[in-house]
Amino acid sequence: MEKREKNSIIRTEVLCKSFLVDGEVNNIIKNVDLDIYEGDFTVIMGSSGSGKSTLLYSLSGMDQVTTGKVILDGADITRMSERKMAGFRKEKIGFVFQGINLIPNLNVYENILSPTYKTGRNKKEIEKEIEDMLARFDMLNQKKKFPTQLSGGQRQRVAICRALINHPKILFADEPTGALNSSQGQHVLDVFSEIHKDGQSVVMVTHDLKAACRGTRILFLRDGRIDGELQLGEYHKEEEKEREERLYHFLQERGW
Ligand SMILES: Nc1ncnc2c1ncn2[C@@H]1O[C@H](COP(=O)(O)OP(=O)(O)O)[C@@H](O)[C@H]1O
Ligand SMILES: [Mg+2]
C-alpha cells in the first residue's frame, strides 16, 4: 500500500496547562508533544478527570495555555492577542459541546446562520449551504423550529451544522453524544463519520467506546500525558465489531 505523508495541522510543544486552586498550582496537562494530522478523525480518550476537556480547550485556542506552544494551521496561537485569537477561532475552528448550547430565541436556520455575521460572505451562498446541510442531515423540516421543539439528537445535529458553516479547518467536539440516548447518539455519530469521509479533520473527546470507534486514530490521556495511541484506519460500518474489539483491547491494556 502506498504510504502517504500526512500534514500536521496542530502541533504542540511541551504543552502545559495548570489551574490555580485555593492558592495551589494544579498541573493538569503535562509536557504534551503532539501532532494532530489533517484529514484524521482523532479521538481523545481517558478516564474522567484525566484532562481531556482541558487538552481540547488548549488545542483549539478556546483557553490559554500555561506554558509551551500550540501551532494551529501554521500559526502559533499561544502568542496571539485575544482579539486576533477570536478572529482566528471564527475562521479556523468549529466547536461542538456536550451540553447543547443553541441560542434559545433563534430558530434552527438562524442558529446555523449566526456565526456568519460579519464574515463578509455572500448571503445567497450561505442560504444554499444551510439548506443543503439541513437536507443532508435529515433536518429540512425543522428549519423554522426553535431549539426547545427539537429532540436532543436534532439539537446536536444543528450544533454541528452551526460549527461547520464557516468551513473550519478543524471541527472539535467534547463528548458530543454524552447527553444523548444511544439511538440519537448513533445518528449524531453518523453525521461525524459522513463529514469526516468528505475530508473534514475532526478532533473528538469521548469516553464512549461506540463513539470512539468512529475515529481513525485514538489517543489515550492519563493524568495529563499521552499514554499510547491506536491507529484504527477509516471507519466502515461492517467492521464495527472488530474495531470495537481492537479498541477495547487497547483500553484494557491501559487499565480502562
Ligand atoms: N477552570 C478550572 N479550574 C480549576 N480546575 C480545573 C478547571 N478545569 C478543569 N480543572 C481540573 O482539571 C482536571 C481535569 O479536568 P477535565 O479536563 O475537565 O477532565 P476530563 O475532561 O478528562 O474529565 C480536573 O481535576 C478538574 O477539576
Ligand atoms: Mg471533560
CATH number at residue 151: 3.40.50.300
- State the DSSP string of 22-37: TTEEEEEEEEEEEEEE
Which domain does 138 fall in, by range? 38-51+82-253
In the chain, how many domains are there? 1
* 70 CA → ligand 1 middle, Å: 19
What pLDDT is attached to residue 147? 96
How large a percentage of the chain has pLDDT more than 70? 98
Q: Which ligand is the nearest neighbour of the Cα of 29? A: 1
Q: Residue 120 — pLDDT band, cuts 50, 70, 90?
A: confident
What are 214-223's pLDDT values in tens digits? 999 999 999 9
Q: How far apart are CA 231 and CA 217, in angstroms?
A: 5
Identify whether 19 is part of a domain: no
How large a percentage of the chain has pLDDT more than 90? 91
What pLDDT is attached to residue 4? 60
Identify whether 73 is part of a domain: no
Identify whether 69 is part of a domain: no
55, 248 Cβ separation under 8 angstroms: no
Identify whether 215 is part of a domain: yes
Q: Residue 2 — pLDDT band, cuts 50, 70, 90?
A: low
* 2 CA → ligand 2 middle, Å: 37
What are 199-213's pLDDT values in tens digits? 999 999 999 999 999
What are 138-181's pLDDT values in tens digits? 999 999 999 999 999 999 999 999 999 999 999 999 999 999 99
Q: Whose Cα sits closest to atom 2 in ligand 1?
A: 19
3-state secondary structure of 71: strand
Identify whether 171 is part of a domain: yes
Identify whether 22 is part of a domain: no
* 252 CA → ligand 2 middle, Å: 20
What are 30-66's pLDDT values in tens digits? 999 999 999 999 999 999 999 999 999 999 999 999 9
3-state secondary structure of 120: coil
Mean pLDDT of 91-114: 93
Q: What is the pTM of this model?
A: 0.95
* 114 CA → ligand 1 middle, Å: 29
Tell the residue number behind the cell numbers 503535562, with chain if given.
Answer: 30
Does ligand 1 have an atom closer than 6 angstroms to the CB of 51? yes
Rounded to whole angstroms, what are the CA distances from 228 to 10, 45, 126, 234?
Answer: 18, 10, 41, 19
3-state secondary structure of 113: helix
- State the DSSP string of 147-196: GGGS-HHHHHHHHHHHHHTT--SEEEEESTTTTS-HHHHHHHHHHHHHHH
Q: Whose Cα sits closest to atom 4 in ligand 1?
A: 19
60, 85 Cβ separation under 8 angstroms: no
Identify whether 150 is part of a domain: yes
User: Looking at ligand 1, which atom is closest to the CA of residue 20?
Assistant: 4
Give CA 216 to chain center in angstroms. Answer: 14
What pLDDT is attached to residue 119? 85
Identify whether 77 is part of a domain: no
Q: Which ligand is the nearest neighbour of the Cα of 48? A: 1
Average pLDDT, the chain: 95
